[in-house]
Amino acid sequence: METKKFHQQEIKEAAAILREGGLVAFPSETVYGLGANATLADAVKKVFAVKGRPSDNPLIVHVENFEQVKQYVDNFHPLTSKIVEQFWPGPLTLIFKIKPGALPSVVSAGLSTVSFRMPNHPLTLELIKEVGQPLVGPSANTSGRPSPTQSQHVYHDLKGKIEGILEGGSTEIGVESTVLDLSDPIQPPMILRPGAVTKEVLEETLGVTVLVDQHLVEENQAPRSPGMKYKHYAPKTKVLMVQPTDWAEAFDWAKKQDLKVGVLASPELRAAYQAQMTASYPLVDESIASAAKGLFAGLRALDEEQVDLIFAPVFPEVGLGVAYMNRLKKSANQQFFKV
């Protein structure tokens, strides 16, 4: 199968493929998604097969607007309208209990709930509108690998396996959406997966306490939401997380072990330790926004450099740092460099 790159003027062609049950990857503000018509069970099954994704891992359904969600849900949490008005389109996924049989069970991995998101990307919103149906859209990569933030990442993993990729440039945020469980109208909202829409922002906007599910799902357990697995987003090369005060010791240890090291490196880190790095992926600056945007692209790039080990910087788990560290810990299988 040839995998074609589609551009804005070719969206009608990409939409026709999706209507007929084919697969087309699409951009968003978070990562690239692997699109299939959410109403076609056979098309959705192809997504699991192409990614090598466990069938117990539910998918996120991407919609053009909130009216599409109302076709599948009839009992909304009382905070839903306020949340949608404030955060859609955007990097926030909402979980609702759906009407029985409203969507193929393969979408929800057999659960009674489904995750919905309205992505903040004009090309993808145009694509969904042109298809006339919502699209499932898990990250467009081989399951368990770092998520794709550029179209070439998608092509690397899925060329010859899907019909097309809608070109949308590099993603802005670089980590997947926050997942917020609103499936029980009488319970407080609960974050199942952290993202750019933080607990603090939600609580300030809504004026209520937002819970956070800290449970890490083992390989043999079924998750309630994408991104809850204990190990995920991992390159083939081993990753170690490095605390800000441990860089000198980490490089000394690697030198003594005669290890080739690749580093997700800020300008400050490169200035101090460039000579000790076999390879580096340059982050734009010292900020958490730069680290989050560069995390998956950096892991992918360094994985191609034939290094023995990847060092990645640790950030405080506040704001966007919660989402960054959530992804990094899973990429590193929870392992820190220890002096």
Q: Domain limits at 297? A: 238-331
Residue 217 domain flag: no
Average pLDDT score over the chain: 95
Least trusted range by pLDDT, from 64-73, 209-218, 219-228, 317-326:
219-228
What CA–CA distance (Å, rounded) separates 72 from 302? 42
Question: What percent of the chain clears pLDDT 70, i.e. is strictly above it?
Answer: 95
Q: Is residue 96 part of a domain?
A: yes
Mean pLDDT in residue range 7-18: 98
d(Cα 59, Cα 136) in Å, to the nearest integer?
6
Please tell me whether residues 132 and 280 are part of one structural domain. no
Whether residue 230 has pLDDT greater than 70: no
pLDDT value of position 214: 75
Q: Domain check: are 34 and 167 in the same one?
A: yes
pTM: predicted TM-score of the whole model, two decimal places: 0.93
- The DSSP output letter for 263 is E
Closest of 127, 201, 211, 114 to residue 164, by C-alpha: 127
Q: What is the pLDDT of residue 225?
A: 66
Of the three residues 126, 154, 175, the one that is the final residue of a domain is 175
Calpha distance 191→197 (Å, rounded): 10
| Side-by-side strand order, sheet with 261-265 | 238-242, 309-313, 261-265, 279-282
The one-letter amino acid at 325: M
Confidence tier at 5 by pLDDT (50, 70, 90): very high
pLDDT of 189 above 80: yes
Residue 257 falls within a domain, yes or no? Answer: yes
CATH number, domain of 42, equals 3.90.870.10
Q: How far is CA 138 from the centre of its chain?
A: 8
In sequence order, which residues have a C-beta less than 8 Å from that of residue 214 and are 6 or more positions away? none
Name the band, by pLDDT with cuts 50, 70 and 90, for residue 228: low
From 175, 201, 230, give the residue that closes a domain.
175
Distance, in Å, from the CA atom of 211 to the CA atom of 178, rounded to the nearest integer, reads 13
Tens of pLDDT, residues 119-176: 999 999 999 999 999 999 999 999 989 999 999 999 999 999 999 999 999 999 999 9
Q: Model confidence over 43-71: pLDDT tens digits?
A: 999 999 999 998 888 999 999 999 999 99
pLDDT band at 216 (very low <50, low <70, confident <90, very high): low
- In this structure, the answer to whether residues 154 and 13 fall within a common structural domain is yes
Q: Which of 193, 187, 210 is nearest to 77 (CA)?
A: 187
Is residue 171 within 8 A of residue 292, CB to CB? The reply is no
Is residue 20 located within the same domain as residue 165? yes
Mean pLDDT of 205-225: 77
The domain total for the chain is 2
For the stretch 265-324, pLDDT in tens is: 999 999 999 999 999 999 999 999 999 999 999 999 999 999 999 999 999 999 999 999
User: Considering 128, 159, 175, which residue would you say is the last residue of a domain?
Assistant: 175
Residue 255 belongs to some domain of the structure: yes
Contact 64, 128 (CB under 8 A): yes
- Please state, in angstroms and rounded to a whole number, the distance separating the CA atoms of residues 78 and 57: 27
